[in-house]
Amino acid sequence: MSMPIYLDHNATTPLDPVVLVAMLPWLESQYGNASSRHEYGRQARQAIDEARQKVAVAVNAHPTEVIFTSGGSEANNLFLKGAAACLKPGILAVSATEHPCVLKPAAQLVRQGWEVRSLAVDGTGRVKIEDYAEALLDKPKMLSVMLANNETGVVQDVAALANAASPTGAWFHSDAVQALGKLAIDFRAFNGAGVHAMTLSAHKAGGPKGAAALVLDKRVELQPLIAGGGHERGLRSGTENIPAIVGFGVAAELAAVRVAELPARMRAMQVKLESGLAGLGARIFATDVTRLPNTSYFAFPNIDGETLVGKLDREGFAVASGAACSSANPESSHVLRAMGIAPDIARGAVRVSLGVANTEAEIEQFINALQVTVGRLQGLTAIS
The Cα–Cα gap between 65 and 53 comes to 10
Instruction: Confirm if 258 and 356 have CB atoms less than 8 A apart.
Output: yes
Q: Which among 117, 134, 154 is positioned nearest to 284, based on CA atoms?
A: 154
The Cα–Cα gap between 154 and 162 comes to 17
Identify the active-site residue in 325, 345, 367, 369. Answer: 325
Three-state SS at 91: strand
The Cα–Cα gap between 70 and 210 comes to 5
Three-state SS at 296: strand
Instruction: Confirm if 165 and 137 have CB atoms less than 8 A apart.
Output: no
Instruction: Confirm if 251 and 16 have CB atoms less than 8 A apart.
Output: yes
Q: Which among 127, 91, 126, 99 is positioned nearest to 288, based on CA atoms?
A: 126
The Cα–Cα gap between 19 and 297 comes to 29
Q: Which among 311, 334, 308 is positioned nearest to 321, based on CA atoms?
A: 308
State how far Cα 8 lies from the chain centre. Answer: 13
Instruction: Confirm if 202 and 209 have CB atoms less than 8 A apart.
Output: yes
DSSP 94: E
The Cα–Cα gap between 148 and 72 comes to 14
Instruction: Confirm if 246 and 207 have CB atoms less than 8 A apart.
Output: no
Strand order in the sheet with 295-299: 283-284, 295-299, 350-353
Three-state SS at 367: helix
The residues facing 148 across adjacent strands are 155
Whether residue 325 lies in the annotated active site = yes
Other CB atoms within a 10 A radius of the CB of residue 134 amount to 13
Alpha carbon of 339 to those of 73, 121, 183, 334: distances in Å? Answer: 23, 6, 23, 9
Q: Which residues are catalytic?
A: 325
